[in-house]
A and B are shown apart, each in its own frame.
Chain A
Amino acid sequence: KQEVTQIPAALSVPEGENLVLNCSFTDSAIYNLQWFRQDPGKGLTSLLLIQSSQREQTSGRLNASLDKSSGRSTLYIAASQPGDSATYLCAVQGSNDMRFGAGTRLTVKP
Chain B
Amino acid sequence: EAQVTQNPRYLITVTGKKLTVTCSQNMNHEYMSWYRQDPGLGLRQIYYSMNVEVTDKGDVPEGYKVSRKEKRNFPLILESPSPNQTSLYFCASSREGVSAAFFGQGTRLTVV
Residue in B35, B43, B100 whose beta carbon sits within 8 Å of that of A46 in the complex? B100
Set of chain B residues within 8 Å of A100, measured between Cβ atoms: 35, 42-44
- What is the CA–CA distance of A49 and B50 in the complex, to the nearest angstrom? 20
What distance in Å separates the Cβ of A58 from its nearest Cβ neighbour in chain B? Answer: 16
Set of chain A residues within 8 Å of B40, measured between Cβ atoms: 102
What distance in Å separates the Cβ of A48 from its nearest Cβ neighbour in chain B? Answer: 9
Known interface pairs A97-B58, A98-B45, A101-B42; A43-B90 also in contact (CB < 8 Å): yes
Residue in A43, A93, A97 whose beta carbon sits within 8 Å of that of B103 in the complex? A43
- What is the CA–CA distance of A101 and B37 in the complex, to the nearest angstrom? 11
B-side residues, CB < 8 A to A, are 33, 35, 40-45, 48, 50, 56, 58-59, 88, 90, 92, 97-106, 108
Set of chain A residues within 8 Å of B50, measured between Cβ atoms: 96
A110, CB-defined interface residue at 8 Å: no
A-side residues, CB < 8 A to B, are 31-32, 34, 36, 41-46, 49, 89, 91, 93, 95-103
What distance in Å separates the Cβ of B67 from its nearest Cβ neighbour in chain A? Answer: 18
- Pair B105/A93 contact, Cβ less than 8 Å: no
- Pair B100/A49 contact, Cβ less than 8 Å: yes
Set of chain B residues within 8 Å of A45, measured between Cβ atoms: 103
